[in-house]
Amino acid sequence: MGKHSPPRPGRLVTTETGPAVTEDLTEDDAEPETGPLRRCIVTRERLPKERMIRFVVGPDRQIVPDLAARLPGRGIWLSASGDVLSLASSLDDGQENKKQGDTNQRHLVRAFARAARGSVSVPPDLSERLQAALVRRIGDCLGLARRAGQAVAGYEKAREVLRTGKFRLVLQASDGSEAERSRFLSGFGPDLTVIEPLSGEALGRVFGRDYVVHVAVATGKLAESLVVEAGRLAGLRNGSARALGSTGATGRETVPVNDVAGANG
């Protein structure tokens, strides 16, 4: 009995999604992680790293999110967009929606398997896990800013530091009064960045209060990190890979991220 021929180079066979699927591998699937751009394994778009999420393959072939992009191993990148990462668990229980969700999950697993050059395990609630992790990262980053004296909470105190011109980022509670949020921003120029990644309760926990609506953050690396993480969270929640906050306070074009119960960590 003759030996089996080895698989032809440049082909991948995976059985993660049911029947065996054979796909062509391109040079892009193995491109090095260099430069400011990365290619999404689903859309094939090249985007800034700040608008994407990195994954690595764990020892058990489990797909592991690497939000800080520091884990060893070859990175696998996805756009931070709910349109790309739409899993079955995020859909309603209707039969048609469940069928579409199953299709989305199979497509996602196939994309990961192709990039990983082998079968992989992808959690069906990956989107929810990522959102919860990003909410924790935002809270941790804001906590660092508070301890460093770079974040101030409260209507009057936050407005006072904004007048100095050294604080240009504003976090507002996603469930706060729209009228109050607009009143807080009145009188400031269009160069404020406004994001809404957390609820008032979640913001309050960072500052040891029951509820916080307004937070001003000083210009610097922590502020930049907050904008990036809020943008990635907004992308996952709202189907947009946008990584920036508002273009200005007067236009009220904020990142519409809502913190949900159970996702605060």
CATH of the domain at 226: 3.30.1330.30
Find out whether 126 and 87 touch, Cβ atoms under 8 Å: yes
- Whether 132 and 119 share a structural domain: no
Question: Which of 98, 124, 150 finishes a domain?
Answer: 124
Task: List, for residues 111-147, the tens digit of each pLDDT value.
Answer: 999 999 999 999 988 999 999 999 999 999 999 999 9
Per cent of the chain over pLDDT 90 is 61
**In-domain check, residue 169:** yes
Measured CA to CA, the distance from residue 174 to residue 112 in angstroms comes to 33
- Whether 136 and 161 share a structural domain: yes
Question: Which of 71, 98, 124 finishes a domain?
Answer: 124
- Whether 94 and 199 share a structural domain: no
What integer is the mean pLDDT of 99-115?
78
**In-domain check, residue 257:** no
Residue 36 has pLDDT above 50, yes or no: yes
| CB-based burial, 202-222: b 16+ in 10 Å, e otherwise | bbbbbbeeeebbbbbbbeeeb
Residue 95 has pLDDT above 80, yes or no: no
- Whether 102 and 132 share a structural domain: no
Closest by CA position to 82, among listed 229, 197, 231, 236:
236
Find out whether 242 and 182 touch, Cβ atoms under 8 Å: no
Residue 8 has pLDDT above 80, yes or no: no
The first and second tokens of residue 139, run together, are 């809270």
pLDDT at residue 219, rounded to an integer: 97
What integer is the mean pLDDT of 2-16?
40
Name residue 88's amino acid.
A
**Domain carrying residue 72:** 11-124
What CATH number does the domain containing 54 carry?
3.30.1230
- Whether 58 and 79 share a structural domain: yes
**In-domain check, residue 54:** yes
Structural domains of the chain, count: 2
- Whether 134 and 111 share a structural domain: no
- Whether 68 and 161 share a structural domain: no
- Whether 131 and 108 share a structural domain: no
- Whether 92 and 133 share a structural domain: no
- Whether 71 and 164 share a structural domain: no
**In-domain check, residue 31:** yes
User: Which has the higher per-residue pLDDT, 211 or 96?
Assistant: 211
pLDDT at residue 33, rounded to an integer: 74
Closest by CA position to 162, among listed 142, 198, 144, 187:
187
Question: Which of 74, 107, 124 finishes a domain?
Answer: 124
Residues sharing a CB contact under 8 Å with residue 232, sequence separation 6 or more, in sequence order: 50, 51, 53, 80, 134, 243
- Whether 38 and 109 share a structural domain: yes
Find out whether 17 and 114 touch, Cβ atoms under 8 Å: no
pLDDT at residue 239, rounded to an integer: 67
**In-domain check, residue 2:** no
Task: List, for residues 39-93, the tens digit of each pLDDT value.
Answer: 999 989 999 999 999 999 999 999 999 999 999 999 999 999 988 877 433 334 4
**In-domain check, residue 202:** yes
Task: Tell me the pLDDT of the chain averaged across its residues.
Answer: 79
Measured CA to CA, the distance from residue 47 to residue 78 in angstroms comes to 10
Per cent of the chain over pLDDT 70 is 71
**In-domain check, residue 265:** no
pLDDT at residue 151, rounded to an integer: 98
